[in-house]
Amino acid sequence: MIIIMEPKATEAEIQKVVTSMEAKGFKIILNKGDVMTVIAAIGDKRMVDPASIASLEGVRDVKLVQEPYKLASREGQEEDTVIEFPNGVKIGGLEKPVLMVGPCSVEKDIDGLLQVAYAAKEMGVPFLRGGAFKPRTSPYEFQGLEEQALKYLATAREKTGLLIVTEVMDTYDVPLVEDYADVVQIGARNMQNFKLLKAVGKCDKPVLLKRGPAASIREFLLAAEHIMCNGNEKVILCERGIKGFDSTFTRNTLDLAAVPVIKKYSHLPIVVDPSHACGRRYLIEPMSKAALMTGANGLLIEVHHDPDNASSDGAQSLNIEQFKKVAKNLNRLIGRIDYDNRNGKNE
Amino acid sequence: MIIIMEPKATEAEIQKVVTSMEAKGFKIILNKGDVMTVIAAIGDKRMVDPASIASLEGVRDVKLVQEPYKLASREGQEEDTVIEFPNGVKIGGLEKPVLMVGPCSVEKDIDGLLQVAYAAKEMGVPFLRGGAFKPRTSPYEFQGLEEQALKYLATAREKTGLLIVTEVMDTYDVPLVEDYADVVQIGARNMQNFKLLKAVGKCDKPVLLKRGPAASIREFLLAAEHIMCNGNEKVILCERGIKGFDSTFTRNTLDLAAVPVIKKYSHLPIVVDPSHACGRRYLIEPMSKAALMTGANGLLIEVHHDPDNASSDGAQSLNIEQFKKVAKNLNRLIGRIDYDNRNGKNE
Amino acid sequence: MIIIMEPKATEAEIQKVVTSMEAKGFKIILNKGDVMTVIAAIGDKRMVDPASIASLEGVRDVKLVQEPYKLASREGQEEDTVIEFPNGVKIGGLEKPVLMVGPCSVEKDIDGLLQVAYAAKEMGVPFLRGGAFKPRTSPYEFQGLEEQALKYLATAREKTGLLIVTEVMDTYDVPLVEDYADVVQIGARNMQNFKLLKAVGKCDKPVLLKRGPAASIREFLLAAEHIMCNGNEKVILCERGIKGFDSTFTRNTLDLAAVPVIKKYSHLPIVVDPSHACGRRYLIEPMSKAALMTGANGLLIEVHHDPDNASSDGAQSLNIEQFKKVAKNLNRLIGRIDYDNRNGKNE
Amino acid sequence: MIIIMEPKATEAEIQKVVTSMEAKGFKIILNKGDVMTVIAAIGDKRMVDPASIASLEGVRDVKLVQEPYKLASREGQEEDTVIEFPNGVKIGGLEKPVLMVGPCSVEKDIDGLLQVAYAAKEMGVPFLRGGAFKPRTSPYEFQGLEEQALKYLATAREKTGLLIVTEVMDTYDVPLVEDYADVVQIGARNMQNFKLLKAVGKCDKPVLLKRGPAASIREFLLAAEHIMCNGNEKVILCERGIKGFDSTFTRNTLDLAAVPVIKKYSHLPIVVDPSHACGRRYLIEPMSKAALMTGANGLLIEVHHDPDNASSDGAQSLNIEQFKKVAKNLNRLIGRIDYDNRNGKNE
C-alpha cells in the first residue's frame, strides 16, 4: 500500500499514519520528498481497508500495490483452473472452448425446449442453458416457471445428456437449484449479492458468475473471491456486456478486452455471452468469433425454438435454423483454435 | 408503443406485426411513409415486452411511449406521497427535509453509536442510520455484526427516540430486520435483487431504496414498482451516485438532476446520500446543500464517533464535531426552504 | 512517481528502471517487499510521461503522486484567481456569482437578441452570451452567422453595456473573435483541440473553457494548463455536463461535485452551464440553485426571445418571461451567498 | 419523426405541433390514444432539429425514425465503399484487411522510423503511420516534430513504397499535411472539430476519422457526414476505444461491436486501433484478431524501434521483433478470412 501525504501534512500527521500501519503489521518505508512525503507500507495484509487509511488527517491518497483478491489471482495459482464434469466435458485453460445454448426463459411448452436441446446435441454443444427464475426489470413481465422449469431442464438432460446451466436468484432457492443444475448461474444483477455468493460458495456445483453491468474487473474478481473463500473454487466467469453511454444499437457494451486481461490476472475460466451483451441477433455470430479469438473458454448463446413468441429476450435469440448455421461456423473456428493450441502454434 | 419497420420490410412482415399487436389488445394505426412504415400501437398494456416485438422480422426499432411503471408514476398518483411515522415525523412532498445520520457499520463499541445518536438528537435529526449487515466488495473486509447490531440500534432508539434506518441484504433476514427497523433499506447493489424487493414489498415498514450504480432512472422507478406492486407503497428513493468514468477525486458521480427529474415523473419521496456518492468528507456539506436546493426530501450522511478507526468508509464519515457544524448549516438552509415552501415563495 | 514492479521482475529489470529515472533527475528510494518491489521516484519533473516508464519490462504499474498541472494548481497559487473586467465586473474567489445569459445561436433577427440583452440588463446580469460560430453534430443544422453575429453582439454591448461571451471554433478565427468578445469561449467538443488552446493562450481576453463530455477533472485542468502556459492565465472553467449512461431524461449528467473538487485543486474560477447539461427547461432553476450552493462562481443560462422557433437548443432555452422569474429567484439566493461570504458565515 | 405529447397536452398544443410540422413540409398522421396523443411526421427532412420540436409546450418526447446522416448511410448507398490507392492497395468491403503500423510520434531519429518501415514492408504491410503533430493531454509532453516529421515520412515512403497515414490537428496545417500524406488522419479528440472536418472534406486524399472517446455511433457517422457533404467521400472510420468506467487495466474500452453495427448502417470502411484502445502491449494481438473476426477492414498498430525510449505511448507499442511475430499471426488469419470471403464461405 502506498500512502501519499498532502504537501502540507504535519510531522505529527505523518507519524500517526506510520504508527497506525505498523500496528497493523506493515513494514514501513518513508520517502520524504521536496514536495510531499510518500509512505510505502509493505506486507500482504488484504484485510486493511484503504479507505480507513485515507480518512486519516493529512493523507492525500492511498494506492493499492497488490490486487486485493487472492484465491482468484494468478499469483495465488499459476496454472489455469480446468473444471471437469462427470461426463468428461472440460472447461478452462487450453481446453476446447464450449458452447452453452438455450432459451432465456424456460417456458410452458416443454417441446420447444426439447427441440433446442436436440439441436444443441446435434451440433456437439455440451451445455443447455435456460432460466427457471427470471430477474426482470419490470414486475409486469414474465418471472419464470421456477421449479416446473427445473423439472423440464432435467427432462431435457435425461433425453440428451446435455449439462444444465440455470440461474439462482435468492439464497432460499439455492438447495433447490443445486439439486437440478450442473452449473449454478449468478446473474449480472446479483454479482454483488454477497449473501447469495456465500451460499453458492457452499455448493458442490460449479458456479457461472456473470459480470455486473457496472462492475470493474477488480470488483468482478472480488465477487469470485467471495464464492471461493467459502469453499467453492469452481467458478466460471462470464463477460456479458457493461453499461455504456450508447444503447441505440446495442443493449450493452461488450468488453472483450476483459477476457485477456482476466486471463493475465486470474486462472479462472471465462466465457462470453454475446446475446445479452449486444441484444441483437445479427451481432451474435461476429461477436462470438471475436470472443473466441480473445481466448474465451466458451460462449453463452440464446436459442429459442420460436423467438417471435418468446416470453423474454426474443430480439436477441437465434431460432433453431439460425443457431445451426452459427454453430457450424463457430465449430469450425473452435476446431482451428483447438488444433493450434494442441500444436503449440499461436492462433 | 411505436414500432418502426425497416425500409425494406415486406407487406407480410408489416402485417405480422399488426396481427401480433392486435392479438395483444392494442389499437393499431399504420403510417406508411415514403421511406418506411411506422406502426403506432395504442393501449395501456405494460406487460408486453418491447423486445418481443423488436424480434419480429422487418422491425427496426420499438420505442416506448409511456413509462413502464404505474404505481410509482405521477400519472398514477398526482399528489406527492408523504410518509408519516408513528412519532409524527414526515417525509415527502413539501414537508421539511429530514436528515438520516450515523455510522456506515454498527460496531462493537455501542458507546460510539450512542454518542452519534445523542449528537443527532441534539441537532434535531429524526433518523439514525447504521449497517448491521454490510455488503462489502472484498470478502476480507468487515461484514457487520448482524443481530447484535440491530440490538444496539434498538437501544439507541430507546435512549433517544430516533427512528432507525438499516439495510437488509437477503430475503432470509427480512423478518428480523423488519422487527428492529423503522425504515428497511435496500442497498444499491441489491436494487435489482428482485426476490428481495418482493420480500420487502410485503413488509409493513417503509423501504429506503438506493439507486444502483448503473441504474437508469427508469430502472430505478421500476425497482420501486417491484416493491409497490407487492403491497408496500411506502417507498423512499435514494440517489447515491452513479458509476462514472472519473473516480480519481470522487467515488461515484452524484446525479443531482435525478432529483427534479424523479419529482416530475413520480410522487415518491427522494433523499440524497452525498457520503457514498462522493466518498470524501470535504464534499459532504456543499453537496448536501446542493441536494436540498434540487428539492430532495432528505439527506443520508455518514457520521462516526471516530472515523480514523471506523471498520468501513472512514474517509467519507464526519466525526461528531464536524457533523454538528455541518448540521447547523444545513438546518439553517432547511429552515429557509421550509419557510419558503409554507409561504408559497420559490426558493 | 511510484513505480510498482511485477512480483517476478528480475534484478536487472529493477535496475534498468532505477537507472532510467535517475538519468531523468529523480531521487530514487527502493522498497523491496516480500511480494514485489516498489520504487519511489521523487522530484518535480512533470515532463516525464508515466507511460514511457510503464513500458519498461517488469513494470506492473506507475502511479502519479503529484497532479500533472502546475499553473492551474492550488499548489502553484494558493489564493483564488479573480478576473476583473474593465467595467469593474469581477469573477472568481468569493466575489458575487455572476450570470451569463443569452441565446444558443445569434440569429438573423437582431431585435430578438436585443430583447434578451435588455432583459438581462434589467435583471442585473453582467454577461451576454451567444454563438456566432456553432458546432453542430449534424452538418444539416444551422451553423451560425459568423461575423454578422459578432457585429450583432457588439451592437447589443453598445446598447446595454453587457460584456460579451462567444465561442471560437478554429485558430483561423481567433483574431476576429478576440476583436469582438470580452470573453472567448472554447466549446466542450474543442476542449482538447490543442492548437486552438495554444492560440487563445496568446490572447489578451479571458477564456471560458468548457469541460469536454468525456474529460476527467485532470484532463480538464490540463487543458487549462495548455492555455496558461502560453501566457494567458485568465481562464474561467465551465462544467456543462458529462456523458452518462442515461440520456432519457437529461442530455448529459451534470457533475456538480466537480465544482468543490476543482476549487480544492485549482485557484481558477468555475461556472456551471445547467442548460447544456440538462437539456430541459424545467431543470434550469433547481440545478442553477444547486450549482450556486456548491460554490460556483457563475452560471451560463440559455435565454431566447422565442424558444419555439430557435435555430438551436430551443428545448433547453428559457423565454424572456421565464428568465426573469428564474433570475429573480437566483438573485435572491446570490444575495444571501454574498452576504454570508462577506460576513464570514458558512452557507 | 415521432412526437409524443404529454397526457395533459391541450388540443391547442397538439394543433400547434401539427401546424409547425406541416409548415416544415411533413405529412402528419395523428394518433389519439386513451392516454396520450402521438404524432407521426413523415418526410425525409433531416434539417429539422428534433430539439426545436421538443421545446414546444405539451411535447413529452421526440423520437427519430431515420438515422440523421445520409451520405454515410447504407440506405443512401447500398454497396460497400472500397477506396483504391494509386499503387493498387484497396481498403473496404470484402477486400483483404490491411495493416497500418508505425510509431505514435515520428521522432528525431529517422533511422528508427526507417527500421519500422522496412519491417512493415517485409511483413507485407501497405501503410506506415506516424504522428507529426501530436495532440498531448499535458502541455509539458512532446508535441511532435511537425514538418520535419512529414519529411521523414516522405523519405520512408520513397525508400519502401509504403503509403503514409498521418494526423492533422488544425485547419491551418491541412494543405501541408495533405501534401505529404496518402491518408489524412483526424484524431479522436478532434472528431467534432467541425471546421477541421470541413477542411479535410475539401481534400483529395482519403481521411481516416477516429471515433471520439465519448462519441455515440450516430455522432461518429454524423462526423463522417460533415466530411462527405463537403465533397470528400473517401472516409475510413476508425474505432479506437471509448471512455469507460474502468481504466485500471486498459486505457479505454474497445467497442468491437461497433464494427458490425457500422457495417450494417454504413457502407464506409472501418478499421480498429487496438493500441490506443487498450494501452497495453500484451492486448494487441488478441484484440487485433478479435477485430478481424468482427469484419474490420484493417488495423492500426503502434510499432516503435525502441519503445522503452519512445517519446509517447511506449507502453502500448510493439518493438520490431514483437511486431513481426504478431504480423505473422495476423497475416495467417487475414489469409483465411480473405480465402473465405472469395469463396463465399462464412468465417
What pLDDT is attached to residue C34? 66
Enumerate the H helices of B123-244 as residue ranges.
Answer: 147-160, 174-180, 194-200, 217-228
Q: Which phi and psi (to 5°) does residue A207 adopt?
A: -115, 130
Chain B interface, mutation test: which of A46, A167, A193, most B Cβ atoms within 10 Å?
A193
Provide the CATH number for the domain formed by B83-342 in this structure: 3.20.20.70
From D69's Cα to the closest Cα of chain A, the distance in A is 15
Q: How far apart are the first and last CA of chain D?
A: 38
Report the pLDDT averaged over residues D123-133.
96
Confidence of residue B34 (pLDDT cuts 50, 70, 90): low
- Give the span between the Cα atoms of D71 and D226, in whole angstroms: 9
Is the CB of C248 less than 8 angstroms away from the CB of B332? no
Residue B310 CB contacts under 8 Å (≥ 6 apart), including other chains: A52, A55, B103, B104, B105, B107, B304, B317
- Tell me if residue B91 falls in helix, strand or coil: strand
Residues of A in contact with D293 (CB under 8 A): 286, 289-290, 292-293, 333
Q: What is the pLDDT of residues B83-116, one digit of tens each?
A: 999 999 999 999 999 999 999 999 998 999 999 9
- CB-neighbour burial class of residue D87 (10 A; exposed 0-12, middle 13-18, buried 19+): exposed
User: What subunits touch chain D, counting only 3 or more CB pairs under 8 A?
Assistant: A, B, C
Is the CB of D287 less than 8 angstroms away from the CB of A256? yes
Site of grid cell 452513479 = B242
- Give the span between the Cα atoms of C60 and C3, in whole angstroms: 8
Q: What is the pLDDT of residues D195-241, one digit of tens each?
A: 999 999 999 999 999 999 999 999 999 999 999 999 999 999 999 99
- Give the span between the Cα atoms of A90 and B164, in whole angstroms: 51
pLDDT at C153 over 90: yes
Site of grid cell 470471403 = D341
Residues of C in contact with D303 (CB under 8 A): none
Residues of A in contact with B279 (CB under 8 A): 51
**Which of D244, D250, D291 lies nearest to residue A261, judging by beta carbons?**
D250
Report the pLDDT averaged over residues B290-309.
95
Give the C-side interface with A, CB within 8 Å: 2, 4, 7, 27, 29, 31, 33-36, 38, 40, 42-44, 63, 65-66, 75, 243-245, 247
Q: Dump strand ranges (E) for C246-313.
A: 270-272, 298-302
Chain C interface, mutation test: which of D4, D15, D55, D280, most C Cβ atoms within 10 Å?
D55
What pLDDT is attached to residue B248? 84
What pLDDT is attached to residue D286? 97
CB of D46 closer than 8 Å to CB of C140: yes
> Residue A175's CB: how many other CB atoms inside 10 A?
11
Residue D156 CB contacts under 8 Å (≥ 6 apart), including other chains: D113, D114, D117, D128, D162, D164
From C188's Cα to the closest Cα of chain D, the distance in A is 10
- Tell me if residue D148 falls in helix, strand or coil: helix
- In one-letter notation, the amino acid at residue A275 is S
From D15's Cα to the closest Cα of chain A, the distance in A is 30
Chain B interface, mutation test: which of A49, A63, A221, most B Cβ atoms within 10 Å?
A49
Sign of the Cα pseudo-torsion (D253, D256, D262, D264, in order) = negative
**Which of C34, C38, C245 lies nearest to residue A44, judging by beta carbons?**
C34
Nearest CA in chain B to A140: B47
Is the CB of A253 less than 8 angstroms away from the CB of D248? no
Confidence of residue A61 (pLDDT cuts 50, 70, 90): confident
Confidence of residue D45 (pLDDT cuts 50, 70, 90): low
Q: What is the pLDDT of residues C24-80, one digit of tens each?
A: 888 887 877 666 788 888 776 656 777 678 778 888 888 777 788 989 999 889 999
Strand order of the sheet with strand D27-32? Answer: D27-32, D37-42, D2-5, D59-63
**Cα–Cα distance list, A168 to B34, B116, B136, B196 (Å):** 49, 40, 21, 13
Report the pLDDT averaged over residues A67-80.
90
* Chain centre to alpha carbon of residue C36: 41
Is the CB of A43 less than 8 angstroms away from the CB of C66? no
pLDDT at C160 over 60: yes
pLDDT at B46 over 70: no
- Give the span between the Cα atoms of D327 and D331, in whole angstroms: 6
Confidence of residue B47 (pLDDT cuts 50, 70, 90): low
Is the CB of D214 less than 8 angstroms away from the CB of C219? no
Write the DSSP assignment of A148-185 as a string of letters: HHHHHHHHHHHHH--EEEEE--SGGGHHHHHHH-SEEE
**C-alpha cell, B183:** 425504515
- Give the span between the Cα atoms of C189 and C177, in whole angstroms: 18
* Chain centre to alpha carbon of residue C341: 23
What pLDDT is attached to residue B167? 97
Nearest CA in chain D to A337: D333
Residues of D in contact with A242 (CB under 8 A): 244-246, 253
From C294's Cα to the closest Cα of chain B, the distance in A is 5
> Residue A193's CB: how many other CB atoms inside 10 A?
29
Which of A200-209, A261-270, B218-227, D243-252 shows the lowest per-residue confidence on average (mean pLDDT)?
D243-252
Report the pLDDT averaged over residues B142-159.
95
**Cα–Cα distance list, A190 to A198, B191, D151, D181 (Å):** 12, 9, 57, 52
Residues of A in contact with C44 (CB under 8 A): 34-35
Q: What is the pLDDT of residues C187-210, one digit of tens each?
A: 999 999 999 999 999 999 999 999
Please give the model's pTM, rounded to 2 decimal places.
0.92
Sign of the Cα pseudo-torsion (B63, B69, B70, B75, in order) = negative
CB of B178 closer than 8 Å to CB of B203: yes
* Chain centre to alpha carbon of residue C52: 29
**C-alpha cell, D265:** 448502417
- Give the span between the Cα atoms of D323 and D336, in whole angstroms: 20
CB of C4 closer than 8 Å to CB of C61: yes
CB of B99 closer than 8 Å to CB of B126: yes
Q: Which of C308, C316, C243, C309 is nearest to C273 (CA)?
A: C316
What pLDDT is attached to residue A195? 95
CB of A343 closer than 8 Å to CB of B81: no
Confidence of residue D30 (pLDDT cuts 50, 70, 90): confident
**Cα–Cα distance list, A75 to A66, A79, A266, B138, C78 (Å):** 10, 10, 8, 17, 45
Residues of D in contact with A260 (CB under 8 A): 282-283, 286-287
Provide the CATH number for the domain formed by A2-63 in this structure: 3.30.70.1140
Q: Dump strand ranges (E) for chain D.
A: 2-5, 27-32, 37-42, 59-63, 83-84, 90-91, 98-102, 127-129, 163-167, 183-186, 207-210, 235-239, 270-272, 298-302
What pLDDT is attached to residue B346? 59
Whether the domain at D2-63 and the domain at D83-342 fall into the same CATH topology? no
Chain A interface, mutation test: which of B177, B193, B220, B276, most A Cβ atoms within 10 Å?
B193
Higher pLDDT among residues B316 and C91, named by residue: C91
Residues of C in contact with A7 (CB under 8 A): 75
What pLDDT is attached to residue A314? 74
From B184's Cα to the closest Cα of chain C, the distance in A is 27
- Give the span between the Cα atoms of D228 and D220, in whole angstroms: 13
Q: Dump strand ranges (E) for chain A.
A: 2-5, 27-32, 37-42, 59-63, 83-84, 90-91, 98-102, 127-129, 163-167, 183-186, 207-210, 235-239, 270-272, 298-302
ipTM exceeding the 0.85 mark: yes
CB of C21 closer than 8 Å to CB of C41: yes
Strand partners, D27: D42
From C28's Cα to the closest Cα of chain A, the distance in A is 9
Write the DSSP assignment of A181-213 as a string of letters: -SEEEE-GGGTT-HHHHHHHHT-SS-EEEEPPT
Q: What is the pLDDT of residues A215-238, one digit of tens each?
A: 999 999 999 999 999 999 999 999
pLDDT at D347 over 60: no
pLDDT at A347 over 60: no
* Chain centre to alpha carbon of residue D324: 26
Cα atoms in the 13 Å half-sphere on the side-chain side of A56? 25
**Which of D216, D245, D290 lies nearest to residue A294, judging by beta carbons?**
D290
What pLDDT is attached to residue D47? 60
Q: Dump strand ranges (E) for B44-93.
A: 59-63, 83-84, 90-91
Higher pLDDT among residues B231 and C49, named by residue: B231
What pLDDT is attached to residue B4? 83
- What does the domain layout of chain D look like in residue ranges? 2-63, 83-342
Cα atoms in the 13 Å half-sphere on the side-chain side of A58? 17
User: What subunits touch chain A, counting only 3 or more CB pairs under 8 A?
Assistant: B, C, D
Is the CB of B226 less than 8 angstroms away from the CB of A139? yes
Residues of C in contact with B214 (CB under 8 A): 245
- Give the span between the Cα atoms of B313 and D276, in whole angstroms: 35
Instruction: Compute the count of residue pairs across chains B and D with CB atoms less than 8 Å apart.
Output: 59
Chain B interface, mutation test: which of D2, D6, D31, D251, most B Cβ atoms within 10 Å?
D31
Instruction: Compute the count of residue pairs across chains C and D with CB atoms less than 8 Å apart.
Output: 152
Is the CB of B286 less than 8 angstroms away from the CB of C295? yes
* Chain centre to alpha carbon of residue C77: 18
What pLDDT is attached to residue A254? 97
Is the CB of C294 less than 8 angstroms away from the CB of B282? no
Nearest CA in chain C to A44: C35
What pLDDT is attached to residue D231? 96
What pLDDT is attached to residue C74? 92
Higher pLDDT among residues C52 and A204, named by residue: A204
Q: Which of A283, A277, A208 is nearest to A238 (CA)?
A: A208
Residues of D in contact with C302 (CB under 8 A): none
**Which of D68, D213, D315 lies nearest to residue C214, judging by beta carbons?**
D213
Which of A235-244, D225-234, D307-316 shows the lowest per-residue confidence on average (mean pLDDT)?
D307-316
Is the CB of B140 less than 8 angstroms away from the CB of A46? yes
Q: What is the pLDDT of residues A103-139, one digit of tens each?
A: 999 999 899 999 999 999 999 999 999 999 988 888 8
Residues of A in contact with B170 (CB under 8 A): 170-171, 193, 195-196
Residues of C in contact with A29 (CB under 8 A): 29, 31
Write the DSSP assignment of C220-249 as a string of letters: HHHHHHHHHTTT---EEEEE--B--S--SS
Higher pLDDT among residues C284 and A143, named by residue: C284
Confidence of residue A346 (pLDDT cuts 50, 70, 90): low
Percent of residues, chain C, with pLDDT higher than 70: 96
